[in-house]
Chains A and B, each alone.
Chain A
Amino acid sequence: MALNLVVCLKQVPNPDLQFQVAPDGKDIKREGLNYKVNGADEYALEEAVRLKEKHGGRVVVLTLGPKRTEPMLREALAKGADEAVRVAYDDPAAFDVGKNARILAAAIRTLPHDLVLTGVQSDDYAYSATGGLVAGLLGLPHASVVTRVAVHDGDLEVACELEGGLERVVALPRPALLTIQFGANTPRYAPLPAIMKAARQPIKEIGPAALGLPGWDAIPLPYAFGVVRLSPPVAKGHAEMITGPIPEQAKKLAQLLREKGFVRR
């Protein structure tokens, strides 16, 4: 029952950073950002590697993005992926989730896949749409916000998280697509020898020609998409901000708690 597993990994700017809008308002300033693998995708990769270890098979990691994604792919190889594929789509922003998903779907069509895993949402754009779109485009059954996966002979049984801690358990046949939720497992660290080995492994590049397209803009889209403008958020409300030396902030906080009657004495 060896499984061909494909995991979609997205590289995102470290979300703890502060961001500035580029002068043309069409993207953030990208110089000097540091990038990492998307949080939920770490769980998707770990889930795939565990399924491979349990049932046999191969894990292919797939990203759509510029050359800077290569260290992320090598890290995935070091954590147990067998092959890394980069769809060489170089738009640093890539805001159009429909276009990204259509290109990813076209790439997945060229790879053997019993199970496709994505993260539940990207930390930068938070669409929670790529997985569902790919499933719809490829005609795969799918389940979202998955916290547990069990593989049986013919099918899968998975738990999908709903609001308020409820979980819906569903069964579905393979091939299928699952979007994996944070906390689904405990992602491993890459062992040093594996990191050394991954540094030498080749990364397969897919350009538009490999998918039968003269260029990425030739991918048929049922719409035209545009970024109107990025801007700093205008908050509906905002906290009264306390800054300054810690002892002074502490005094203010303590005073506030007393005034409001939250200190018992």
Chain B
Amino acid sequence: MAGGILVIAEHLDGKVAPSTLELIAAATSLRVERHGVRLVVFGHGVKELADHLAGYTVDVLVAEHPLLAEYTGDAYVQAVRGIVESTNPRLVLIAHTAQGYDLAPALAGAMDLPVLTNCLAIDLQEGRLVAARRILNEKVHVEVEVRSDRPIVVTMRPGATPPQGTGRGTMSVTEVPVSIDPAAVRVKFVRMERPEVADIDLSSADVIVSAGRGIQKKENLRLVEEFAKAIGGVVGASRPLTDLEWLPKTRQVGQSGKTVRPKLYVACGISGAMQHIAGMKDAGLILAINTDPTAPIFEVAHVGFVANVLELLPAVLKELKAG
């Protein structure tokens, strides 16, 4: 039963990752001929999850094993490998998430397969896969192609494809055997650590003014704080600022921080890397201040100010005080 596309589902704490629905949509839109699209759910006690996913108009395979109860690269690579070998798909689709960074290249390395990661869009043509990517801080678009008679491992950037909706009726759910050699599972799960409780809850704020590396010095945070206060907002940050400990980790907006949806989001000196955008793109009104007119933040912002934030903010504060 060769051909088709194998999509790897991602889930945590019994919940499907939103990126999985995006992968289903991306795979379905490729209109592959034989066998179409199959979604594989790996885990332990995930039958219910698999049934749920079959509602998204995709055939589901469930691969259960006690060693898949918690994700580890070693166990997953073995399990995925077994299914890739027995089904020989043209593509293996994985989300470009923390789990995807871990799994996709390691699978490709272990099986000696081609791999393309962090793709925004893919097109499967006769004999080749063409993928669209962004490089150099999102400032350059690139299309690359891969030709291979082996399955191609692809990771898709979360948020790049609209998610698959539920359809009429459900598709098949098939249990597939998994064999995992416990001795070859060298990576052992120890525990999960949950983030600390926040000093303020960014995700409930109506107005967020976020500072990025463009503010240049810790002292300049005062300016951002003063501006936030003037418009009844709280201060958030891009990751480099919380890494530098200029602000607590709980103020970080983005993939590895908070996802926020305020009425107003002002990005001050933030370039707009995909991991930052992931956390704020759904804000009601997005304003961005950046000296670089090509900064990708201007693609998600509604209004962009090409200015030095250290000059613009004092000028705006003056305007606001003048009334």
Name A residues whose Cβ lies closer than 8 Å to a Cβ of B: 13, 15-16, 18-19, 21, 28, 95, 97-98, 101, 105, 120-121, 123-139, 141-145, 157, 159-173, 179, 182-183, 221-243, 246-247, 249-254, 256-257, 260, 262-265
Looking at the assembled complex, report how far the CB atom of B233 sits from the nearest CB atom of chain A, in whole angstroms.
8
Q: List 19 A-B contacts (CB under 8 A).
A: A15-B271, A18-B294, A101-B105, A128-B101, A134-B109, A137-B109, A142-B106, A166-B12, A169-B193, A183-B242, A223-B148, A229-B143, A234-B141, A235-B298, A239-B302, A242-B303, A242-B307, A251-B319, A263-B320
Q: Is the CB of B144 within 8 A of A227?
A: yes
**Residues in A neighbouring B256, C-beta threshold 8 A:** 161-165
| Distance of A164 Cα from B320 Cα, bound (Å) | 35
Q: Is the CB of B145 within 8 A of A265?
A: no
Q: Is B186 an interface residue (CB 8 A)?
A: yes
Q: How large is the interface on B (under 10, 10 to 19, 20 to 34, 35 or more residues)?
A: 35 or more
| Distance of A166 Cα from B12 Cα, bound (Å) | 11
**Residues in A neighbouring B249, C-beta threshold 8 A:** 165
Given contacts A123-B137, A173-B186, A224-B147, contact A257 B320 (CB under 8 A): yes
Q: Is the CB of A144 within 8 A of B102?
A: yes
Q: Is the CB of A129 within 8 A of B117?
A: yes
Q: Is B192 an interface residue (CB 8 A)?
A: yes
Q: Is the CB of B304 within 8 A of A222?
A: no
Looking at the assembled complex, report how far the CB atom of A221 sits from the nearest CB atom of chain B, in whole angstroms.
8
Looking at the assembled complex, report how far the CB atom of A149 sits from the nearest CB atom of chain B, in whole angstroms.
13
From A160, A179, A262, give the contact of B207 (CB < 8 A): A262
| Distance of A130 Cα from B233 Cα, bound (Å) | 41
**Residues in A neighbouring B299, C-beta threshold 8 A:** 233, 235-239
Looking at the assembled complex, report how far the CB atom of A67 sits from the nearest CB atom of chain B, in whole angstroms.
22
Q: Is the CB of A239 within 8 A of B109?
A: no
If A228-B144, A251-B319 are given as contacts, then 13 extra A-B residue pairs at C-beta distance below 8 Å, sorted by A number, are A19-B139, A28-B140, A126-B118, A143-B187, A160-B98, A162-B256, A168-B70, A171-B187, A222-B150, A226-B145, A239-B288, A242-B307, A250-B312
Given contacts A164-B259, A227-B142, contact A145 B186 (CB under 8 A): no
From B106, B186, B274, B287, give the contact of A133 (CB < 8 A): B106
From A145, A157, A239, A263, give the contact of B231 (CB < 8 A): A263
| Distance of A131 Cα from B301 Cα, bound (Å) | 33
Given contacts A124-B135, A230-B141, A262-B232, contact A179 B101 (CB under 8 A): yes
**Residues in A neighbouring B135, C-beta threshold 8 A:** 124-126
Q: Is the CB of A162 within 8 A of B99?
A: yes
